[in-house]
Structure 1
Amino acid sequence: MALLVAGIILFIVTHLVRPFAPGLRAAAIERFGKPGFMAAHGIVSLLSLVMMAYGFVLARESGGSMLYQPPVFMAHIALLLMLVASICLVAAFLPAGYIRSKLKFPALVAIKLWAFSHLLANGESYSVLLFGAILAWAVVLRISLKPRIASGETKLPVFVSASYDLISVVLGVALYLAIVLKLHEWIIGVSPLAM
C-alpha cells in the first residue's frame, strides 16, 4: 500500500501548489519558464497517476481489510453516476454549453462523482483511502477556487452554444462505454460489470 499512498501524496501536493503555494509556483515558472514548468507538472502528474493505479492494483492483490460491505445495488448507482461523470469530463474540454457554464468546473464535478461513486461500491481499506483522498482533494480545490474567482484570477466559462452539450453527451456516452466495456478492466484488472 506504500506505493498507493506515495502516489496519492504526490498527486495532491502537485495539484494544490497553485492555490496554497502560489509563490513556489511563480518561482518555478520564473526559473524554468512557463513551458518548462507545465512540462514538469504534467510529467509529475502522470507519474502520480501511474503510481496510484499500480499501487491500487498491488494493494488489491495483497488484500486489505473490509471497512464496510456495500449492498449490490450501490454498484448500479455507481455505474449511473459514472455515466454523468463521463459527460461532465468531456464537457470540461469543449467550449461552454449549458453543462459547462452551469457547473463552472465540470472536470472537478466529474472527479468528485468518480470518487464518490467508487466509495459507494467499494468498502476495502485501499479503495476508501484512494477514493476518499481524491474526493477530499477535489472538495478542497473547489473551495480554494472561490477567492480566485472573486479576484478575477480564475475566469468562469461563458456560454457559447447548446450544441456543445449534445457533443458532450455523445462523446461522454462513448467514453463511458469504452471505460465500462474495456478500459477499466484493462487498466485496473476488474470489469465494473462483474461487480
Structure 2
Amino acid sequence: MGWVLLVAGLVLWCGAHLFKRIAPELRTRAGDPGKGAITVLILLSVVLMWIGYRRAGIVDLWFPPPWTVHINNLLMLVAVFLIDLGFSRGVLRTKLRHPMLTAIKIWAVAHLLVNGDLASVILFGGMLAWAVVTVILINKQDRAWTPPERGPVRNDIIYGSVALVIFAVIIYIHNWLGVWPLPG
C-alpha cells in the first residue's frame, strides 16, 4: 500500500502543479476557488508522499558511499538558501530566474546521492523530473524574463543567516524522524 500512496502522491503533486501550465485557460476560469482546490490537492499530495515513503518497503538498488553525506549536506544548504530566494530583496535574486525550482532540483539530487533505495528513487527522482519539466514549460511559455530590482547586499547576508537557522531546524526534524543527516 505504501508504494501506491507514494506514487499517487507524486502524481497528484505533479498534476496539481502542472495544471496551471498545461491548462492555463481552465486554471484562470477557476479563479480563487480553483486556487483553494489546488492548495488542498498539493497538501494532500505531500501527506500521501510522506505516508507512502515511510510505508514503502526497502528495496535497495545501490549502496551510496559514506562520503556522499558531505556532498548532500552542502547541496542541502544551497537548496535551503534558494528555496525562498524569490522573496528576498537582495542582489542574488536578480541572478536566478527559478530559485525555488532550482532548490527542488538540488534537494532531489542531494537526496538521490545518499539514498539508494527504490522508494527514494521514485520520490526524489519524480520530484526532480517534475521540476525539470516545470522549468521547461515556464521558459517555453514565458520566454522573456526581467530580473527584479536589485536590493542591498545586506539583505542577502540576512537571508543567508535565516537559511542557516532553517537548515538547523531541518536537521533537528530529520533527527526527530529517526534520520540523522550529519556524518558521524
Asked if these proteins are the same fold (TM beyond 0.5), I'd say: yes
Q: Gapped runs of 5+ residues in structure 1?
A: none
Aligned pairs for 1:13-24 (under 5 A) are 13-24=15-26
Task: Give the helix-richer structure, 1 or 2.
Answer: 1
Equivalent residues of 1:89, 1:107 under 8 A apart: yes
Post-superposition offset of 1:109: 1.2
SS across alignment from 2:65: coil
Q: Which of 157, 163, 167 is the equivalent residue of 1:172?
A: 163
Equivalent residues of 2:69, 2:183 under 8 A apart: no
Post-superposition offset of 1:148: 3.1
Q: Write the letter of the residue equivalent to 1:2.
A: V
Show the counterpart of 1:102.
95
TM-score by length of 2: 0.90
Show the counterpart of 1:57.
54
Show the counterpart of 1:191.
180
Aligned pairs for 1:106-185 (under 5 A) are 106-150=99-143, 156-180=147-171, 182-185=172-175
1:19 and 1:68 map into 2 onto residues whose CA distance is: 35
Post-superposition offset of 1:40: 1.7
Q: Gapped runs of 5+ residues in structure 2?
A: none
Question: How many percent of aligned residue pairs carry the same amino acid?
Answer: 40
Post-superposition offset of 1:82: 0.3
1:112 and 1:13 map into 2 onto residues whose CA distance is: 18
1:163 and 1:107 map into 2 onto residues whose CA distance is: 21
Aligned length: 182
Post-superposition offset of 1:68: 1.4
Q: CA RMSD in A?
A: 1.8
Post-superposition offset of 1:105: 1.6
Aligned pairs for 1:25-64 (under 5 A) are 25-29=27-31, 34=32, 36-59=33-56, 63-64=57-58
1:191 and 1:160 map into 2 onto residues whose CA distance is: 37
Q: Write the letter of the residue equivalent to 1:76.
A: H
Equivalent residues of 1:94, 1:164 under 8 A apart: yes
Q: Write the letter of the residue equivalent to 1:93.
A: F
Post-superposition offset of 1:157: 2.9
Post-superposition offset of 1:155: 5.7
SS across alignment from 1:53: helix
